[in-house]
Structure 1
Amino acid sequence: MTGRERADEPPPAADALAFLTRPGLTRLWTAARTRLERNGLQPAGTIRLEGLDAQEREALSLLLARPITGRTAAIRLPDLDIRLRASAVGRGLASTLEEMGPSLTDRRAVRDAAAAERARVWVAAQTEVEAASLSAQPWTAQWLEEIRRVGTLARQDPHTATTVVTQAIHTLATLFPGTDPRSTPTTWGRGELATSATGSAHGLDDGTLLSRLVLRGIALARGVELPADAPERRALWRMASVAPDEVSSTVLTLGLRPTGGTWREAALRERADHHMETHVTLRELRTLRLEMPPGTRVHVCENPRVVEAAADASRRAPLICTSGSATTVVLTLLDALAASGCTFAYHGDFDWPGIALANRIVHRYGAEPWRMRAVDYEYIATRTRVRGTPQIALSGTPAEAVWDAELVPTMNALGIALHEEAALDLLLEDLG
């Protein structure tokens, strides 16, 4: 403090802003701003500053017109507001902080406004339920309460939340137009139903918020549990007379010879006899009779190149390709073959995603490893080095191989990723 500055005399008006923005007051304004924004911009309560240094004590003493000598100071915001109004600053605490910037936010008002917006979402939802004549359905009130309690809509902006819940109500009203159990339901395609509700054929695709809300309503209406996976979701859609898309996703096969007597099984047998690969859709799997001779051994691979090479080499052993990941259509086919008594042998890539997929197939179907043990990996890795094949480094998070405790340590030791193509001749030999 200079000889001309005294604790009871704030700086002249021309220097007021420069005085207020000196470094010694930075912590005071930060704490005051936080408290005001929580208090609805009202100067109420006390803030406590600890660990004050000499520069801060001097600045606070000048500002508050009282000596601050310790390392801790308690400042009442009403007193600070009065002091600022009586000084050359000439305005209250809130106006002073606004002048120094940035603008204050009334967080209490923001919270209240957000709560009011959320309330309007549910008022609008209830109004839509009444307008759509869904209020007479015994499950509707529980559906609204559940989606409110889960909080998914609350995390959306109010416009999006209102739009999605309105679309969900209209979709459910379309599926459940009345309470007469004798009424014949209309069958919808999911894309057609989505277009009717949202204008987009993809509006009810898996993973969308709208599809989750509608499926929750269907489950309540039908008195069943929420679906846990894609096959269960498809089954639930069908319970509401909605046909999901079952033709765009396929599973690649070779050599399947089911014993069923319809033209569908005969077509598969004929293609197998001509060593032709076949892409089978979910829709076909619903109608195929996939009985196989008891104990049929089915080989499962990860990469389509294995199927292509097996077809070119006229291999006859049944072969199914996961095409990198076991999707719903792949698992549906494997489930059907397992139910008919087939056994499985699995081969995939020697990398961490490949090991994770192999674990899934081995665990779900009790599949035997097909040239997937540590000795196989070591042999193929050595062969690629001898042949001068460019090496691919292992990357990612290791996954334990449930069928062979030695495989992962061996892979870590050699540090090489091996795709199925590196073992193609060996796989073809087995398929012969």
Structure 2
Amino acid sequence: MTSHRALDAAPLDAETLAFLTRPGLTRLWAAARTRLERNGLQPTGTIKLQHVDPPEREALSLLLAKPLTTSTATIHLPDLDTRLRASAVGRGLAETLAELGPALTDRRAARDAAAAQRTGLWSAAEATLAATPLAAQPWAARWLEETRRAGTVARQDGSTAATVLTQAIQTLAMLFPGPAAEPTPAVWGRGELATRTTGSAHGLDDGTLLSRLVLRGIALASGTDFPVDAPGRRALWRLASVTPDEVSSTVLTYGLRPTGATWGERTLRERADHNLETHLTLRELRALHLEMPSRTRIHVCENPRVVEAAADAGCTEPLVCTSGSATTVVLTLLDALAATGCAFAYHGDFDWPGIALANRVLERYGAQAWRMGTGDYEYLATRTQVHGTPQLLLTGPRVEAVWDAELAPAMEALGIALHEEAALDLLLEDLS
């Protein structure tokens, strides 16, 4: 019998199906299926079955129409295909295996399709990147290449992979717009940013693939390591002026008297009149219209104790506290005050982190150093020694003060760190 039936041939009759599904042929069909799926579903090559037992020997002899006398069976797949077509089966090896089930998978074609899809995915991502301000950022191409090599994106289904890459690029372009981009908010709420780029306020939630890709971009842009814990991730978001939420972080203020007529501005003036400090959230700052009297001088301190003492003393000068670091909400307030023409005077700790923070504030806002000169440091250091105050040793790498070239050498020579409280009485004189 030499007929060749099409793929839509009539189902196998019960007798033929019973023969083909007998246990003695199970290993043959499994091995043949594996070979065909690797061969692009073509019946080529040879399979070898070791340790053939008597039931297998009998079934194989009947199927191949030749006696099998050894414990090893070598089957040429082209011969098996021909034999099946010429027998009562009436169809080739691939069709027979498909009918016995499950359906065959052309793994070679699947690999080729997946490779083509990956190539298209990254080509499209490169084109998307090139059309954004990120194209001018030296770290952006490295970010895309590291993302490709990591393989996590490529393991997603095609639609998901393309979407998450596009959204990651768009999000990073929002955060690093470049000089030619449209103006963007100085600070983003993470939910707001996610809504703009994904349509969902939860699109950048912690643990999502998109948030990891964006954070890796921020880390590369900032020259920092990728964080390993939740606090580190929140800090990295803030480094890119993104706040995970708009209510948990606050900036401590005192004595602000904006001229606006809204409830928020009136409340600030009333609290200032009653010598009360005020914690402002990012959400509140977005709603405020902080118009201040022209050239208002804002004192900025590092430690909350200065605000507490100013309130106790009934000081009248406005004061903003960085609380040890210029977080997103602190910078948002200072940016808003700077936009109204306010001038700043800054004081902080006389230690290396304090000098670094002072540099940041002075350079960003053109602020004046407030009792932060070499003479101020030497006077305070001497006073603590005279009073027998326990000395705090200066540790860590030296940081040059941008406002006073002699300060870092003087600090290094004395080796004493001074927290802001050491100058509290002097600061309160100025604030009064």
Instruction: Output the TM-score relative to the length of structure 1.
Output: 0.54
Residue pairs, 1:287-366, within 5 angstroms = 287-366=287-366
Specify the alignment match of 1:283 in structure 2. 283
Specify the alignment match of 1:426 in structure 2. 426
Residue pairs, 1:12-411, within 5 angstroms = 123=117, 139=128, 150-156=144-150, 158-159=151-152, 162-163=155-156, 169-170=162-163, 201-203=205-207, 208-210=212-214, 245-411=245-411
Greater C-alpha Rg: 2
Name the CA shift for 1:271/1:197 in 2 (closer, same or farther; >3 Å).
closer
CA–CA distance in structure 2, aligned partners of residues 165 and 152 of structure 1: 19
Secondary structure, counterpart of 1:378 in structure 2: helix
Secondary structure, counterpart of 1:405 in structure 2: coil
Secondary structure, counterpart of 1:208 in structure 2: helix
1:39-92 deviations in whole A, cap 9, x for unaligned? xxxxxxxxxxxxxxxxxxxxxxxxxxxxxxxxxxxxxxxxxxxxxxxxxxxxxx
CA–CA distance in structure 2, aligned partners of residues 287 and 424 of structure 1: 33
Contact 2:398–2:408 under 8 Å retained in 1: yes
Name the CA shift for 1:310/1:123 in 2 (closer, same or farther; >3 Å).
same
CA–CA distance in structure 2, aligned partners of residues 317 and 298 of structure 1: 7
Secondary structure, counterpart of 2:155 in structure 1: helix
CA–CA distance in structure 2, aligned partners of residues 300 and 161 of structure 1: 49
1:207-264 deviations in whole A, cap 9, x for unaligned? 73245679xxxxxxxxxxxxx9969765xxxxxxxx9732232211111110011111
Secondary structure, counterpart of 1:272 in structure 2: helix
Contact 2:260–2:266 under 8 Å retained in 1: yes
CA–CA distance in structure 2, aligned partners of residues 197 and 213 of structure 1: 20
Once the two structures are TM-superposed, the CA of residue 347 in structure 1 deviates from its matched residue by: 0.3
Contact 1:125–1:162 under 8 Å retained in 2: no
Once the two structures are TM-superposed, the CA of residue 351 in structure 1 deviates from its matched residue by: 0.6
CA–CA distance in structure 2, aligned partners of residues 148 and 165 of structure 1: 22
Once the two structures are TM-superposed, the CA of residue 198 in structure 1 deviates from its matched residue by: 8.8
Name the CA shift for 1:381/1:206 in 2 (closer, same or farther; >3 Å).
farther
Once the two structures are TM-superposed, the CA of residue 174 in structure 1 deviates from its matched residue by: 8.8
Name the CA shift for 1:209/1:421 in 2 (closer, same or farther; >3 Å).
same
Name the CA shift for 1:147/1:362 in 2 (closer, same or farther; >3 Å).
closer
CA–CA distance in structure 2, aligned partners of residues 232 and 354 of structure 1: 21
Once the two structures are TM-superposed, the CA of residue 160 in structure 1 deviates from its matched residue by: 6.3
Q: Which amino acid aligns with 1:381?
A: A
Q: Which runs of 5+ in 1 are unaligned?
A: 1-115, 177-186, 215-227, 235-242
Q: Which amino acid aligns with 2:155?
A: T
Q: Which amino acid aligns with 1:414?
A: L
Contact 2:255–2:273 under 8 Å retained in 1: yes
Q: What is the percentage of aligned positions where both structures have the same residue?
A: 58
CA–CA distance in structure 1, aligned partners of residues 209 and 152 of structure 2: 21
Name the CA shift for 1:149/1:417 in 2 (closer, same or farther; >3 Å).
closer
CA–CA distance in structure 1, aligned partners of residues 143 and 299 of structure 2: 47
1:338-370 deviations in whole A, cap 9, x for unaligned? 121211111000011111111111122221111
Once the two structures are TM-superposed, the CA of residue 126 in structure 1 deviates from its matched residue by: 5.1
Q: Which amino acid aligns with 1:150?
A: L
User: How many residues are paired up?
Assistant: 278
Contact 1:203–1:210 under 8 Å retained in 2: no
CA RMSD for the aligned pairs? 4.5
CA–CA distance in structure 1, aligned partners of residues 141 and 274 of structure 2: 54
Q: Which amino acid aligns with 2:146?
A: T
1:391-420 deviations in whole A, cap 9, x for unaligned? 111111111112122211211111100010
Once the two structures are TM-superposed, the CA of residue 287 in structure 1 deviates from its matched residue by: 2.1
Once the two structures are TM-superposed, the CA of residue 424 in structure 1 deviates from its matched residue by: 1.4
Once the two structures are TM-superposed, the CA of residue 284 in structure 1 deviates from its matched residue by: 2.0
Contact 1:290–1:337 under 8 Å retained in 2: yes
1:168-203 deviations in whole A, cap 9, x for unaligned? 644588999xxxxxxxxxx96567899979998324
CA–CA distance in structure 1, aligned partners of residues 204 and 340 of structure 2: 40
Contact 1:191–1:204 under 8 Å retained in 2: no
CA–CA distance in structure 1, aligned partners of residues 397 and 116 of structure 2: 44
Contact 2:302–2:420 under 8 Å retained in 1: yes
CA–CA distance in structure 2, aligned partners of residues 347 and 166 of structure 1: 53
Contact 2:238–2:327 under 8 Å retained in 1: no
CA–CA distance in structure 2, aligned partners of residues 213 and 363 of structure 1: 25
Q: Which amino acid aligns with 2:357?
A: L
1:7-50 deviations in whole A, cap 9, x for unaligned? xxxxxxxxxxxxxxxxxxxxxxxxxxxxxxxxxxxxxxxxxxxx
Q: Which amino acid aligns with 2:403?
A: W
Once the two structures are TM-superposed, the CA of residue 147 in structure 1 deviates from its matched residue by: 6.4
Q: Which runs of 5+ in 2 are unaligned?
A: 1-109, 171-189, 219-235
CA–CA distance in structure 1, aligned partners of residues 336 and 200 of structure 2: 35
Instruction: Output the TM-score relative to the length of structure 2.
Output: 0.54
Once the two structures are TM-superposed, the CA of residue 372 in structure 1 deviates from its matched residue by: 0.6
